[in-house]
């Protein structure tokens, strides 16, 4: 497992053991949305701000790799669906662990929707990929969301802590899931999950709301954040990531982090 330990260090801050991940896998699900039309520019902006890793499909490695600028970890996503498919919640494998290794990835990720009609097959895929990651020393981040016909509120703590625990039980090294709304309830999620948890950013929101989400998640035991649209669609992705880093790596408040954005825009 030494390979996992070495690669995990490439996607986190070695001093704080926390991480800021910016997912850029939206091109498959939603196409060339704002902020991701130019992948290498998007990567450069968040890397300059201090992000620890970016996450995306093969295209991120092919078209987002820069020959200069700050180093940043690469997480390649293995599963996908499109927003106009018959069931967007049905994620299928589109890449492999060995191919991700060949492309220079520091980790891989998968998306599983707990409660979806295709949950059983997605769990089967997650278990199989987790075993392959153990064999190759590749860290696995599992994106776990309570989504399906019987899920009324995907932020319900009972659903979220189940989703997080499933990922850990099946071999994931890091779990990404949604915020439950307050630090106390999110602590139930992180406390019941034996591997680190990072919080998702969700839909595009205003700066203070997003930074308060980050602050609450960190207070609730998160290892870090995995926030996409609120980062790469920001008017200054670099400043937003710097503000997020102030909370994640320095323990500052959302109000204090807002000053970083406000002072320089």
Catalytically annotated residues:
25, 145, 176
Rg of the chain taking only CA atoms, in angstroms: 17
Q: How far apart are CA 52 and CA 141, in angstroms?
A: 14
DSSP state of 149: T
| Chain centroid offset of residue 233 CA | 16
φ, ψ (nearest 5 deg) of residue 174: -140, 140
Q: How far apart are CA 146 and CA 136, in angstroms?
A: 29
Helix axes 237-248, 39-49, angle to 10 degrees: 40
Q: How far apart are CA 51 and CA 111, in angstroms?
A: 21
Name the residue with tokens 């039980």.
169
Grouping H, G, I as helix, E, B as strand and the rest as coil, residue 146 is strand
| Chain centroid offset of residue 234 CA | 17
Please state the length of the chain: 265
């Amino acid at each position: 497992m030494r390979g996992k330990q070495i690669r995990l260090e490439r996607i986190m801050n070695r001093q704080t053991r926390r991480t800021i991940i910016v997912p850029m896998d939206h091109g498959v699900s939603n196409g060339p949305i704002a902020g991701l039309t130019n992948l290498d520019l998007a990567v450069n902006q968040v890397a300059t701000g201090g992000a620890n890793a970016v996450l995306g499909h093969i295209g991120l490695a092919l078209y987002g790799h820069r020959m200069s600028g700050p180093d940043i970890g690469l997480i390649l996503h293995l599963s996908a669906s499109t927003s106009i498919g018959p069931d967007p919640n049905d994620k299928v494998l589109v890449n492999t662990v060995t191919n991700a290794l060949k492309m220079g990835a520091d980790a891989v990720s998968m998306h599983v929707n707990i409660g979806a009609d295709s949950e059983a097959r997605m769990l089967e895929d997650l278990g199989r990929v987790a075993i392959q990651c153990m064999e190759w020393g590749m860290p696995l981040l599992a994106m776990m969301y309570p989504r399906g016909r019987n899920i009324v509120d995907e932020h319900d703590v009972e659903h979220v802590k189940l989703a997080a625990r499933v990922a850990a039980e099946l071999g994931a090294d890091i779990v990404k899931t949604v915020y439950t709304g307050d630090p106390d309830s999110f602590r139930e999620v992180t406390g019941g999950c034996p591997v680190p948890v990072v919080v998702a950013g969700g839909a595009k929101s205003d700066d203070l709301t997003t930074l308060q989400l980050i602050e609450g998640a960190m207070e609730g035991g998160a290892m870090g954040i995995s926030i996409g649209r609120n980062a790469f669609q920001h008017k200054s992705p670099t400043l937003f990531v710097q503000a997020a880093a102030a909370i994640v790596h320095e323990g500052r408040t959302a109000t204090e982090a807002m000053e970083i954005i406000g002072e320089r825009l």
